[in-house]
Amino acid sequence: MSNWIVKKGNTSIQEILIQDKDGNNVINLATAIYIKFQVKQTKTTTTVLIEKTMLDGIAVDAPSEGYLRITLKPTDTNLTPKKYYMGLEIKWSDTLLYEVTMVADGTETETFEVEQDIVLP
């Protein structure tokens, strides 16, 4: 498994291709009620360290149909350098809700890692 690795206090942009169980690109992302990305200390904690939504940090069908572009700002990535857990959920209705398997650099992952930036402010 790969990680989404960011430098502490840096901007990070990840383009995530969303596919169905058959490997087809999901083409109705823009009709979702909500899309939510979260980073937490552990899988079971309820405390959210980073949250992005369609209104704040998630662009739908960018760079093309079936993709989400998640943009993290320096204030988002200003966390203690270590490994965290991330999740992405898409909801179209009360009966159509999916937690999406994330892919970073072509590999499935749920790990979000913050590394110390070499150049300090």
State pLDDT tens for residues 19-69: 888 888 899 999 999 999 999 999 899 999 999 999 999 999 999 999 999
Separation CA 52–CA 77 (nearest Å): 12
Domains of the chain: total: 1
What are the C-alpha distances in Å from 45 to residues 38, 49, 52, 55, 84?
A: 12, 10, 17, 24, 11
**Better-scored residue on pLDDT, 73 or 17:** 73
In the numeric block, which tokens belong to residue 78?
């200003």
Q: Which domain holds residue 19?
A: 4-115
Q: What is the pLDDT of residue 1?
A: 39
Cβ atoms within 10 Å, residue 21? 6
pLDDT band, residue 121 (cuts 50/70/90): low
Which CATH number covers residue 63? 2.60.40.1930
The answer as to whether 120 is a domain residue is no
Amino acid sitting at position 19: Q
How much is the pTM?
0.89
Mean pLDDT of 84-109: 86
